[in-house]
Amino acid sequence: MSKIVKKLISRDISQRLNGVQDAIVANVIGMTGDENFAIRKALREQGIRLMVVKRTLAAMATDGTSLRPAFDNQAGSLAVIWGCEDFVALVRNVTKMVDSGAFPKLEIKGGVMDGEAMSADQVKKVAKWPSRQEQISMLVGQILSPGSTLSGQLVGPARKIAGQVKKMVEDREEAEGS
């Protein structure tokens, strides 16, 4: 392949991955056409994109970006998988596909998160982390917890006093009515 063609392909890869911060690198080599179509369709339905690239061209295209470390210590053609609302959701979805056995040739090789290269085992551990939505809900719960406790402490005695005043009013009405 000539240098001009490599530069054109590298520029195209760079444009496709523009703005991508986190990604998974996987092996999809050996899949049949039907399996390839099925996996791409399943990923597309979840808002995930997959692009098969030659490692050296991808490394050239991502040079100077946070994705570059993903291609170190890799060889041959790789599938770059990115998308979803956050990296944890992406890893969960791809890990489910790998574990389902529907695509036996799909294998996670590694990834990159926040500019740090990750091994396949590290990527699989990320699948157990809480997603962005879960982290937000936990944070909101922790923020609201002291407020609800304080509210309960303020309302509790007032409720008790209100009950006692109501009882006194009822007793007086009863005494006046007799």
State the pTM of this model.
0.69
The model's pLDDT over 120-178, given as tens digits with 9 standing for 90+, comes to 888 888 878 777 777 777 788 778 777 777 777 777 777 888 888 888 888 888 888 76
**Spatial separation of the C-alpha atoms in residues 74 and 127, rounded to whole Å:** 22
Cα-based distances in Å from 61 to 10, 47, 49, 112, 115 = 5, 23, 17, 15, 15
